[in-house]
């Protein structure tokens, strides 16, 4: 479907366009967020599950904002989408920036970094769900950056194949752990450890890693810090706050390897290597 129509042919019209413009213009605040959510709900009913082509902060993306909260946020309220995390990340981006986006979804973080970094940067975007991966690669192709490599696999505690639990209501919450009662399906996907990934891609240093894997962040980072040389330890880690699901004390592990917490938001923890 992505290949059948060129970007821009699915631009929003009518009430949907009006609602998107209004929600994107709303400032921070509890009341304005509530109004934005109500407008989003009505607009999604009007749109009848059709995909939408939209440019956001200079990034072109085709979005399917129906069973993926990430795409809803990008389309209607990108100003609320991890603003502190992205600002902090942007302040550290350089011409040869190296970034690994684990749980890339449809590519928002990867595309944001690519839009800020130079042509010599290297960005890996990893997404194991085949249909979401198709959306990711389509979005990458719509932008001129040329620095993102999309990889269709999960990152886990061992290289091989594993079971991914799918959330039909929010594909962004699919995980190698069962983290919600709504999951009703599974998928076998290829997996790689973070260390094996960096070695395969010939990375010699990593400026930043974003991990959004629905409570499985500990499965990735525990073996990585056990086995990886210090040269490969990322300078910055943006980690979804999954402390309710983690089986180890991940903050303690990170502090033991020279990291300090520099930002905590409603959804994420950001650590910087000292």
Those residues with Cβ within 8 angstroms of residue 49's Cβ, 6 or more apart along the chain or in another chain:
64, 66
Taking the domains of the chain in order of start, what are their residue ranges?
Answer: 14-64, 83-273
Mean pLDDT of 70-98: 96
* Lowest-confidence pick of 7-21, 29-43, 164-178: 164-178
Report pLDDT for 178. 64
- What does the pLDDT look like over 230-247, one tens digit per residue? 999 999 999 999 999 999
Band (pLDDT 50/70/90 cuts) for residue 215 is confident
What topology does CATH give the domain 83-273? Rossmann fold (3.40.50)
168 has a pLDDT exceeding 80:
no
CB 79 within 8 A of CB 70: no
More confident residue, 177 or 102: 102
Q: pLDDT grade, residue 5 (50/70/90)?
A: confident
Q: What is the pLDDT of residues 253-274, one digit of tens each?
A: 999 999 999 999 999 999 999 9
Per the document, the length of the chain is 274
Higher pLDDT pick, 183 / 17: 17
128-143 pLDDT tens trace:
999 999 999 999 999 9
Among 146-155, 160-169, 248-257, name the one with the lowest average pLDDT. Answer: 160-169
Average pLDDT, the chain: 93
165 band by pLDDT with thresholds 50, 70 and 90 = confident
Task: Look at residue 113 and tell me whether its pLDDT is greater than 70.
Answer: yes
Predicted TM-score of the model (pTM): 0.93
Which pairs with CB-CB distance under 8 Å and at least 24 residues apart come from 8-12?
A: 8/53, 9/53, 10/50, 10/51, 10/52, 10/53, 10/62, 11/52, 11/53, 11/54, 12/47, 12/52, 12/54
Q: How confident is the model at residue 182 (pLDDT cuts 50, 70, 90)?
A: low
């Amino acid at each position: 479907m992505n290949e059948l129509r060129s970007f821009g042919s699915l631009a929003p019209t009518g009430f949907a366009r009006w609602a998107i413009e209004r929600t994107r213009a709303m400032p921070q605040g509890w009341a304005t967020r509530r109004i934005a959510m109500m407008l989003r709900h009505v607009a999604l009913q009007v749109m009848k599950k059709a995909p939408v082509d939209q440019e956001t902060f200079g990034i072109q993306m085709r979005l399917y904002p129906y069973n993926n909260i990430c795409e809803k946020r990008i389309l209607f309220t990108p100003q609320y989408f991890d603003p502190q995390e992205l600002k902090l990340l942007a302040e550290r981006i350089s011409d040869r920036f190296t970034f690994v986006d684990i749980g890339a979804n449809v590519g928002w973080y990867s595309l944001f970094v690519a839009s800020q970094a130079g042509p010599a940067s290297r960005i890996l975007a990893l997404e194991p769900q085949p249909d979401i991966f198709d959306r990711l690669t389509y979005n990458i192709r719509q932008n001129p950056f040329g620095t993102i490599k999309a990889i269709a696999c999960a990152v886990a505690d061992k290289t091989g194949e594993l079971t991914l639990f799918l959330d039909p209501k929010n594909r962004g919450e699919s995980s190698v752990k069962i983290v919600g009662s709504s999951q009703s399906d599974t998928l076998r996907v290829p997996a790689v450890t973070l260390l094996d990934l960096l070695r395969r891609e010939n990375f010699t240093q990593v400026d930043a890693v974003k991990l959004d894997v629905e409570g499985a962040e500990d499965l990735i980072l525990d073996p990585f810090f056990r086995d990886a040389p210090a040269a490969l330890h990322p300078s910055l880690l943006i980690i979804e706050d999954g402390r309710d699901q983690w089986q180890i004390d991940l903050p303690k592990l990170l502090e033991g390897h020279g990291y300090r917490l520099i930002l905590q938001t409603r959804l994420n923890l950001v650590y910087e290597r000292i």
